[in-house]
Copies of this chain bind each other. A is one copy, B any other.
Amino acid sequence: MTGFRDIRDTLLARIRSGSLPPGAALPSEIDLAAEFGVARATVSRAIADLAADGLVDRRRRAGTTVSRAPVRKAQVEIVQAGTEISALGQAYTYQLLDSAHPVPDHVATALGPVLGLLCMHLADGTPWQVEERWINTNWLPDGDPDRFQATPPGPWLIEKVPLTDARFVFEAAAAPDAIASHLGLTGGTPSFVGERATWQAGQPVTIARLWHRPGYQMTFQHSPGSGALTG
């Protein structure tokens, strides 16, 4: 039995081997269906996978061609610190460092009335990540001041505002003293920072800046044909 995965992998092998070089046109779906002895929809499904990986370009009338400049796409999964640490088999603990963390201008502009927090995530007791978190107070109905004493704000918000659009920014920044001290660094050390902003139906909800431990690396792998990519 030949499924769409077999067909996809066969086409992928032809591309990799150079039998279908960059710029070459694939046979039409009808021809490929005849070649493999399957329905056209099955071939189409196989090619859809390759197109999703950026390996081929599909255009009506013009047909499908092997991409000359394959856009290398990778799918990144953004995980909560607790999830990541647990997945590594280490003990996760959470600590609220400051419940009145200062609010930078750009955050105040984006969010409006806001609660600022400074939190730390630890793996086996050693600092893993320092989190600056600002939350639009409209999403905190009866301001329970102790809510985030033991509960990390990320998971709490996910449950409360389950599905939104998000924007991610990653950059390298010099850790200010206030952050660096919690990570056991001296001020000015390069730190990998991820900033995440989320909206609910166009309304800004929260912004988080995640300062990673020294040596942190964000890695991901791209293996065409394995379906989507993993991070």
Contacts and interface: CB of A to CB of B under 8 A. Distances in A.
Interface residues of A, number: 67
Residue in A78, A166, A173 with the greatest tally of chain B CB atoms within 10 Å: A166
Interface string A158-177: 11001111111111111000
Contacts of A73: 75-78
Contacts of A173: 172, 190
A168 B228 contact: no
A52 B165 contact: no
Given A163-B55, A165-B224, A190-B190, A170 B75 contact: no
Contacts of A81: none
Nearest to A80: B69
A74 interface: yes
A168 B222 contact: yes
A168 B18 CA distance: 24
Interface of A: 15-16, 18, 21-22, 48, 50-56, 58, 66, 68-80, 83, 155, 158-159, 162-174, 189-193, 200-201, 212, 215-224, 228-231
26 contacts: A16-B164, A51-B230, A54-B77, A54-B231, A68-B159, A69-B158, A70-B163, A71-B78, A72-B78, A73-B75, A74-B78, A74-B166, A75-B75, A165-B222, A166-B222, A167-B221, A168-B219, A168-B222, A169-B217, A170-B170, A171-B172, A171-B215, A171-B218, A172-B192, A172-B193, A174-B190
